[in-house]
Amino acid sequence: MVSGARAGGTAIVISVKDQKMTVVQGSGRKVIYPISTSKFGIGDSFRSFRTPMGAFLIDRKVGDGLPAGAVLKGLHFTGEVVQPDAAGRDPIVTRVLCLRGVESRNSNAAARGIYIHGTPEEQRIGQPASYGCIRMRSRDVIALYESVPVGTTVTITDAPPLYLASTTDKDPRGDNWYR
């Protein structure tokens, strides 16, 4: 079990391999969202454009009350709103959940501006396409934003977490919820 999900708390697990985010509440899955991680792979070096791995905390949330597609630059609303899959556009949109790494292997995440955020490139969700951040559809990032508080634990992994799947890949609950 993820430590943030103990005693009914909520935690987020992101699988780079599966390009999915699982929101876990208590001992069970709450919801699964398709996401997009870095097209450059995993890592936490500056200017690598890679998605860092390990444990994080949601350190700040930005975008409360903004419309879907609201463009955020420097974590501030620009006044522009773009539609999903707008040609030639790839700004950060809708909501931002800022991540702070809590391990030495991801300690650069906050300084690198690694976020969970909305993207107008919704057709690319489900495949690696970002420059290090975790991208989501606008409707999904709004739902996530509204359901998790600052301080929520986020785990980014390149394999299904052991508490979600056994090493023999059998479903521990018998209902295929983790796939």
Residue 169 forms part of a structural domain: no
Give the pLDDT score at 5. Answer: 53
Structural domain total, the chain: 1
Whether 64 maps to a domain, the answer reads: yes
Banded model confidence at residue 86, pLDDT cuts 50, 70, 90: confident
- In a domain? residue 135: yes
154: CB partners within 8 A, 6+ apart = 11, 12, 13, 14, 55, 56, 57, 58, 99, 116
Residues of the domain holding 95: 3-157
Quick check: is 76 in a domain? Answer: yes
Predicted confidence at residue 160, as pLDDT, reads: 67
pTM exceeds 0.95, yes or no: no
Joined tokens for residue 114: 């690694």
Read off the CATH number of the domain in which 34 is found.
2.40.440.10
Cα 128 to chain centroid, rounded: 13
Q: Are strands 92-101 and 76-81 parallel, antiparallel or unpaired?
A: unpaired
Query: pLDDT digit string (tens) for 42-71?
Result: 999 999 999 999 999 999 999 999 999 999
Does residue 41 form part of some domain? yes
Residues 21-39, mean pLDDT to the nearest whole number: 91
Look at residue 12 and tell me if it is in a domain: yes
92-101/54-62 β-pairing: antiparallel
